[in-house]
Amino acid sequence: MPPREDSANPGILASAATGIADHVARWGGDIDRVCGEAGIDPACVGQPTLSLELSAFCSLFEEAARNTGNPNFGLWFGNGFKPRDLGLIGYTAVSSPTLGAALENFVGLFGLHQQSTHMAIADAGNGLARLEYQIRMPDILARRQDAELSLGMFLNIIRECLGASWAPEEVHFEHPKPEAWREHESAFNAPVYFSQSTNALVFRRELFQRPMPAPDLKLLSITRMCLMSVGTKPVPRQTLKDQIRSAVRARLAEGYPALESVAEAIKASPAAIQRELARDNLNYKDLVEETRRDLALVYVRQRELPFSEIAFLLGYSELSAFSRAFHRWTGASPRSYRAQQTA
């Protein structure tokens, strides 16, 4: 696949995959096959001024996990990732004067590094802050590896300031708890919670005042200008339908998401949502059904996830209701479908 040029698809600078070939080889995988499955030219991976499609980037790490047989591939890739290897945006962080400035610069410029992504510093109360991260592209369903490697990268930016032994108060992931979840607590040296509303590192706000070890305002200015020059091109604003899908997905684990709560979340009226969906000959119930089906196909392929937990994550009160819905979608039971997919 050639380097991404002007495209309607969200992109990410290829520097975010720096070192993946060595990491794949370390786990006994084949980087050429991994890149081939993801539709990426291996020569583009790690290049600081080239872009990849965000969907292909996420597929790259999902394929790496499958190819190497290591379901925590992204977790350990991110855990060992050095901030400067992230390219221009990594240098904007490490050359900032304080940790607070580093994170603010990182968050403020992140849209030039990676598109269609929510990145924010939020108040968590009780003197705590949250560094939040979430891809806002509903078509990218399999994104566990990306979330884990991204939070690992962010962890190491903070450790650049506070030392290799620093640990956050909590770590949150939006995806379900994997089988080898204790490795996550080992990687972050902190309590890790799954099936959360977003991915986040939680830490004390007082740390914002800590000085970075190598501030360089001249380098900061240069890397900022370079990032604005070579960063990913603007893409059209997320459509209303995409916003609806994202809001539905975020609320499924709480039960069937009420139209009114989704409308409030995206600041649109229920009538506006119904009109938007009607343009595609859909109604709100159809969209919830599609979202559940698409997520179910991803979750059922994950052998470590019990079917009862999948039913809960999709908003079903009983496993039997989920099983009936799954049979309606695929013509097979969840158990037989999993057996076919993992054979």
Q: What are the residue ranges spanned by the domains of the chain? A: 11-230, 240-342
Residues in a beta bridge with 200: 132, 172
How far from chain centre, in Å, is Cα 46?
19
The SS3 call for residue 310 is helix
Query: CB of 110 within 8 A of CB of 228?
Result: no
Mean pLDDT of 83-92: 96
- pLDDT surpassing 50 at residue 3: no
Radius of gyration of the chain (CA): 20
Decide: pTM greater than 0.85. no
**Residue 49's pLDDT is what?**
87
pLDDT at 81 over 90: yes
pLDDT for the residue numbered 343: 67
Q: Lowest mean pLDDT of 58-67, 114-123, 247-256, name the range.
A: 247-256
Q: Where does the pLDDT of residue 5 fall: very low under 50, low under 70, confident under 90, or very high at 90 and above?
A: very low
Distance CA 192, CA 172 (A): 6
CB count, 10 Å around CB of 18?
Answer: 19
Band (pLDDT 50/70/90 cuts) for residue 341 is confident
> Which is nearest to 92 in space by CA: 222, 201, 229?
222
Q: What does CATH list as the number for 11-230?
A: 3.90.1520.10
- Per-residue model confidence as pLDDT tens digits over 261-312: 999 988 999 999 999 999 989 999 999 999 999 999 989 988 888 999 999 9
The DSSP letter of residue 4 is P
Rounded Cα distance between 247 and 261, Å, is 9
Bridging pattern class, strands 128-135 and 117-125? antiparallel
Q: What angle do CA 120, 103, 210 make, to 5 degrees?
A: 135
> Rounded CA gap, 314 and 326, in Å?
11
Whether the per-residue pLDDT at 211 is higher than 60: the answer is yes
Q: Check residue 302 and give its pLDDT.
A: 85
Q: CATH classification of 240-342, choosing from 1.10.10.60, 3.90.79.10, 1.25.40.10, 1.10.3210.10?
A: 1.10.10.60
Q: Residue 8 above 70 pLDDT? A: no
Query: Has residue 83 got a pLDDT over 90?
Result: yes
Write down the pLDDT at residue 80: 96
Residues 6+ apart with CB under 8 A from 314: 252, 253, 292, 295, 296, 299, 322
Element housing 227 (H / E)? helix 217-230
Classified as helix, coil or strand, 275 is helix
Dist CA 316 CA 169 (whole Å): 32
Tell whether the model's pLDDT for residue 238 goes beyond 80.
no
Q: Which two tokens stand for residue 176?
A: 């379900």
Mapping DSSP onto H, E and C, the string for 148-217 reads: HHHHHHHHHHHHHHHCCCCCCCEEECCCCCCCCCHHHHHHHCCCEECCCCCEEEEEEHHHHHCECCCCCH
